[in-house]
Amino acid sequence: MKPTAAILFICLFAIAFLQSAATVCAAPAASVLEQGFVRPPDAAKPSTYWWWFNSNVNKTGITRDLEEFRAKGIGGVVLINSTIGFGTRPIPQGPAFLSPEWRELFRHAMREAQRLGIEVGINLSTGWCMGGPWIKPEDSGRWFLQSTLSVTGPKKFSGALPLPGNRDGYDGARHLFVKNYVDLPLDQLDYRDTKIIAFPEPDQAAKAMSFSGERLSLLQAKSNRLDASSHAYAREVMTPVRVPWKSERGDLPLAANNVIDLTDKVGADGHLEWDVPPGRWVILRTGHRMTGARTAYALPEADGLEIDWLSARGVEAQFAHLGKIFLEETAAAGVRTGVNGTLKFFHDDSFEDGFPNWTADILEQFQRLRGYDATPYLPVFAGRIVGSAEISDRFLHDYRRTVADLMADEHYKRFEALCREHGMEAESEAAGPSWSATMCMDALKNLGRVSRPMGEFWQDNYRFVQNGQNQVGKMVATASHIYGKKTASAEAFTTFAHWSDDPAALKPTADRAFCEGINRFVFHTSTATRPEDGKPGYEYGAGTHFNPNITWWEQSGAFLDYLARCQHLLQSGLFAADVLYYNGDWTPNIVEPRHTPPGLGEGYDYDVCNTDVLLTRLSVSPENGKLVMPDGMSYRVLVLPKTDRMPLEVARKIRDLVQAGATVIGPPPAQTPGLGGYPQCDDEVRGIAAAVWGSCDGATRVENRFGRGRVFWGMSERAVLERDGVYPDFEYNAGAGPLDWIHRALPGADGGAEIYFVVNRNARPVRAECLFRVAGLQPEIWDPVTGERRAATEWWGEGGGASARANVPLALAPHQSLFVVFRKPAPANPRPQRVASRFNTLPLAPAQEITGAWTLAFDPAWGGPAKVEFSGLMDWTLHRDEGIRHYSGTVTYTKRFDLVFEVPEGRRIVLDLGVVKNLAVVRLNGVPLGTVWTAPWQVDITEALKRTGNVLEIDVVNLWPNRLIGDKYLPASQKLTRTNIPLKDDAALLPSGLLGPVWILRENR
């Protein structure tokens, strides 16, 4: 039979093979970089969430889980105690949380983790967000409320002020858990007053003193009372607060100095005694209710209110009541705590607590942070114009900025400090995806306040994926870069699908996250298992399910090795980027998903910074004018947002950076966004702009030099870089289709390296000539699937001087990924080469198809026949035998064959498996040849092959759904599977088995 076109095409590039032991990147002593790639260190291994649902665990299961994690290549766990969620069937109840029985299980887990060298982090809550019965109403999340009462003087007022409505101003609150508590009656919500003020509002002026129309429509967003789905786009969230309020004809603003503070005249019962001045007055009562949010999916013993995210009291209470117990129990187990111990960190899961916007001492905090009293401006929350529309807008900017600063410092910074007091670190999904997406946060600042910034990505391509990129991947990575963190972590592969994804399906999702800058995966999720509960066992309603009960667990080490190799290299050195974008000072302040900025174009990479980093961590290298961070990150240019608003302290810093030699691109500022120091602050900002931008107008003159540096306005960042001779860092011929990439730079004269990760995002093979902005170094190709490394044999230099680059042709199988590493000097006089032929792969040609009958051995314990013969390769689900059709697990294929071709001496021979559903382990003549789990589905058989009498064995593993479907309508006594996860009624059987065709390929020189 002649090979198909697909087989011929695959054969042209195959996989990258070792040329010979003597020539594969030989070195007297392998570098740390290379050693870690071959055998990844524990720090590079992925971790996993380890859910204890309903405390349904025992010592046998704990030991089995941890031993299996260690054996397969899991480096750590995040222990979460929770009740089950997402509509699954009940899970048996184990010991009560924190009971003596539970504590003994916890101690056993900690001792076993220490014995096995597995790092442990613990979620500082049961369920998701922090909270519990120890959180008092006054220490829980808060919303501000207002009520008004009109009175006319002069007269003596003596009476009770009306309470605000329970959801005053929150008409749009409806997403996720918010809808569960927004309508609670006020008498259940611990209402407390903040300020009672009065202001004059003549009858005829009432309308002119208030916002209306489009301006009023923005009030909910500007006052942080707008709810939104966690799927909202960053621009959707940030745009409304950036739309300026402008004065309109007919406005009659309230003068701030006409506001009277009546707070000291109001009793605890809300009774006011006041001599009302002449005229009509509005008494404005501003207070706050607890949001009512409770810990999601908490165990009954730890169910309670969630904490106040804007006050340190909340996280301190959580630490005192729960963190203290975890620490004491760990010590009682004889287990070390701290970054050098087993219990290394506490975890703070994703923010899913609505949009708290107040705290008891917010006015005092506002005064401290913004430098003025907010009291006269409280009527703005009620839709009144104070000072002017512009002044009111500035006040709300300062209010939102205050909420964001309190969240970052009172919660996340304090959380980190509490962990540090015990030698530990804090890990947190501190910036979402958040419920609600409109939470008034400085996302980068939140992430930067903890040692281990973290986000999440989903296996479902329609959840938390925007325009083909993960919603928060770039944001978490850029926070890691600009705040000097080694790792950018992510809750990985979350999905509402069940047991339907194999490593080949997970890999493209993983590679996308890697290219965004994520370099530490935490599998979501591994449910703690008890062997007696059967398989697949009890699971969370959200996966991807990943524990010893999955069908492909015994083969999972190959996939985990891939992730660990990638993470080792992507945790090495520093992210390489040319451009740093300043994201402005507005809040909410969220980084958009990774994209190609219009002014930058393809081939360059970038980071994003906030005001905090720009002011406290950014400086200029006197040697080359690059913008640098204390930890070594550097950028060629800083790009400003397209706005004329800039905080005064930022304008001063921009001036200092340019004067020191920086290159800055963007328009000059004309005003500050806030009210502090107004109006003098605007005068100083305009003075700085006049000095730094000079006569630059963005049209006829686009550049101005100031001090040792330059500013550009009206010229794109790409144009500036190209004018400076800085060409794209990575390019490839367009016909190859979309390739993805990321670049890490490892400093050091001897141990330095330029590390590029290149990914084929196509479901088809591609050939591409790839240009890397590296000169004078030998390219090496490192395969993270196999661990093989070799020097590129086809490559050449292009350009000269600062524009020199290396052209390295690559052939990539569908969704294949490779590292291209530059670390050794190139040969002194390399032979010039300008035409790619082999694309740095081993050329292979079809030599023999393995046809005919195969013997298959199923496991009868899972419903299949002990032995059966297939006349040819076929999908199990098409077989007439019900046991085969619904089989899930491992089947061993056996085939005997002789070679029908001669093997030239020194040539490599490869086995191509064709289509495999879903993983394969190959043995030839008793020699183990490895696990095959991804394209190009090939394995080198050269050393094991014989001329005649070959015995080929292939263990093929499929997924659980087929057996679950077969069991769905069987009586309980006949079911082979046991689980709490029901598959949908329309669930379809998944293709399974070795589908082939299976070919022997030979090297074709």
Would you state the structure tokens that stand for residue 143, as one six-digit string? 């919303």
Distances (CA, A) of 481 to 21, 342, 448, 521: 37, 26, 9, 17
Question: What is the structure's pLDDT at 115?
Answer: 98
Question: What is the structure's pLDDT at 24?
Answer: 40
398-407, 461-470, 859-868: range with lowest mean pLDDT:
461-470
Question: What is the structure's pLDDT at 88?
Answer: 82
> Comparing C-alpha atoms, which of 744, 762, 764, 763 is closest to residue 754?
744
Domain ranges of the chain: 36-134+297-355+425-571, 579-723, 727-841, 846-1003
Question: What is the structure's pLDDT at 830?
Answer: 57
In degrees rounded to 5, what are phi and psi of residue 512?
-60, -45
In degrees rounded to 5, what are phi and psi of residue 480?
-60, -45
pLDDT digits (tens, 9 = 90+) for 626-669: 999 999 999 999 999 999 999 999 999 999 999 999 999 999 99
Q: Give 655-709 as a 3 state SS string.
A: HHHHHHCCEEECCCCCECCCCCCCCHHHHHHHHHHHHHHCCCCCCCCCEEEECCE
Task: List strand residue ranges (DSSP E) for 21-75, in order.
Answer: 47-53
If you average pLDDT over residues 174-191, what whole number do you get?
Answer: 83
Could you tell me whether strands 663-665 and 637-639 are parallel, antiparallel, or unpaired per DSSP bridges? Answer: parallel
Burial category of 598 from C-beta neighbours within 10 Å (exposed 0-12, middle 13-18, buried 19 and up): exposed
Would you state the structure tokens that stand for residue 706, as one six-digit string? 């100031």
pLDDT band at 175 (very low <50, low <70, confident <90, very high): low
Report the run of H or E that residue 428 belongs to, with start and end.
strand 425-428
pLDDT band at 381 (very low <50, low <70, confident <90, very high): very high
pLDDT at 14 over 50: no
**Residue 8 CB contacts under 8 Å (≥ 6 apart), including other chains:** 846
55-69, 400-414, 435-449, 654-668: range with lowest mean pLDDT:
435-449
**Residue 572 CB contacts under 8 Å (≥ 6 apart), including other chains:** 33, 36, 744, 746, 753, 755
pLDDT at 828 over 80: no
Q: How many CB atoms lie within 10 A of CB 747?
A: 10
pLDDT band at 148 (very low <50, low <70, confident <90, very high): very high
Bridge partners (DSSP) of residue 906 are none
If you average pLDDT over residues 265-288, what whole number do you get?
Answer: 97
d(CA 488, CA 474): 9
Amino acid present at 222: K
pLDDT band at 10 (very low <50, low <70, confident <90, very high): very low
d(CA 935, CA 644): 51
**Are residues 979 and 539 in contact, defined by beta-carbon separation less than 8 angstroms?**
yes
Output the CATH code of domain 846-1003. 2.60.120.260
pLDDT digits (tens, 9 = 90+) for 449-502: 999 999 999 998 778 999 999 999 999 999 999 999 999 999 999 999 999 999
Question: What is the structure's pLDDT at 564?
Answer: 98
pLDDT at 749 over 60: no
**Are residues 412 and 443 in contact, defined by beta-carbon separation less than 8 angstroms?**
no
If you average pLDDT over residues 427-435, what whole number do you get?
Answer: 91
Q: Residues 65-71: contacts with CB within 8 Å, 24+ apart?
A: 65/526, 65/528, 65/529, 65/547, 65/548, 66/109, 66/112, 66/113, 66/116, 66/118, 67/112, 67/116, 68/547, 68/548, 68/553, 69/116, 69/118, 69/526, 70/116, 70/117, 70/118, 71/557
Output the CATH code of domain 727-841. 2.60.40
Average pLDDT across the chain, whole number: 94
Distances (CA, A) of 45 to 52, 521, 563, 565: 22, 8, 7, 8
In degrees rounded to 5, what are phi and psi of residue 742?
-155, 155
Question: What is the structure's pLDDT at 109?
Answer: 98
Would you state the structure tokens that stand for residue 755, as one six-digit string? 């590390």
Angle at 931 between CA 926 and CA 934, to 5 degrees: 145
Question: What is the structure's pLDDT at 450?
Answer: 98
What region, left, alpha or beta, does residue 973 occupy, with left being phi > 0 and alpha being psi -120 to 50 degrees? alpha
pLDDT digits (tens, 9 = 90+) for 278-294: 999 999 999 999 999 99
More confident residue, 96 or 828: 96
Count Cβ neighbours within 10 Å for each residue of 337-362 and write b for 16 or more, e otherwise.
Answer: beeebbbbbbbbbbbbbbbbbbbbeb
Would you state the structure tokens that stand for residue 778, as one six-digit string? 């030998």
Would you state the structure tokens that stand for residue 820, as one six-digit string? 């291209």
d(CA 766, CA 814): 8
More confident residue, 817 or 752: 817
**Are residues 419 and 569 in contact, defined by beta-carbon separation less than 8 angstroms?**
no
Query: How many residues belong to the chain?
Result: 1005
Q: What percent of the chain has pLDDT over 90?
A: 88
pLDDT band at 27 (very low <50, low <70, confident <90, very high): very low
Could you tell me whether strands 520-527 and 489-494 are parallel, antiparallel, or unpaired per DSSP bridges? Answer: parallel
What is the distance of C-alpha 15 from the center of its chain? 31
CATH fold label, 36-134+297-355+425-571: TIM Barrel (3.20.20)
HSE value, Cβ hemisphere, 13 Å, CA-based, for 825: 5
pLDDT at 5 over 70: no
**Are residues 739 and 760 in contact, defined by beta-carbon separation less than 8 angstroms?**
yes
